[in-house]
Amino acid sequence: MKVAGRRIVLLVALIGSALVLSVPAGSDEKGGKEKDETKQAVEMSKTAKITVEQAIKTAMEKVAGKVIEAELERKHDKAVWEVEIVGADDKVTEVHVDADTGAVIDTEEKKSEEKKREKKKEGKGKK
């Protein structure tokens, strides 16, 4: 009986190991998406003519405040530096700077998570 019990434990351990090892490390959807975004940003950075420092300088000339984030993204069908600035009114404004020309494409106030939830609830109530 002891031999049979050991075999069962060994079999369970082998099956468990096989299941764990058969799942890809990046199978998490969010993790895979983040890897794709990082890869895309690296590729865009190779062709961007404007550096992050230049984009920040340009954005701060457009909107006064403190920069809290700057990242290279694909928006408006092109590579764009998205620079987030907190103004004296404590509102966050995104300034989109063309990564090739350095021109400001547009600015938009970033909505707080609370405002996004309220707007989403309003939309559901209208149906």
- Examine the pLDDT at 11 and tell me if it is beyond 80: no
- Give the model confidence (pLDDT) of 24-33 as tens digits: 554 455 567 7
Residue 50's pLDDT is 95
Residue 127's pLDDT is 52
Mean of the per-residue pLDDT values of the chain: 79
DSSP letters, the chain, are -HHHHHHHHHHHHHHHHHHHHHS-TT-SHHHHHHHHHHHHHHHHHHH-SS-HHHHHHHHHHHS-SEEEEEEEEEETTEEEEEEEEE-TTS-EEEEEEETTT--EEEEEEPPPHHHHHHHHHHHHHT-
48-127: which CATH architecture?
A: Roll (3.10)
- Give the model confidence (pLDDT) of 92-116 as tens digits: 999 999 999 999 999 999 886 655 5
Residue 4's pLDDT is 56
pTM exceeds 0.75: no
Query: What average pLDDT does the segment 71-100 reach?
Result: 94
Query: What average pLDDT does the segment 55-78 reach?
Result: 94
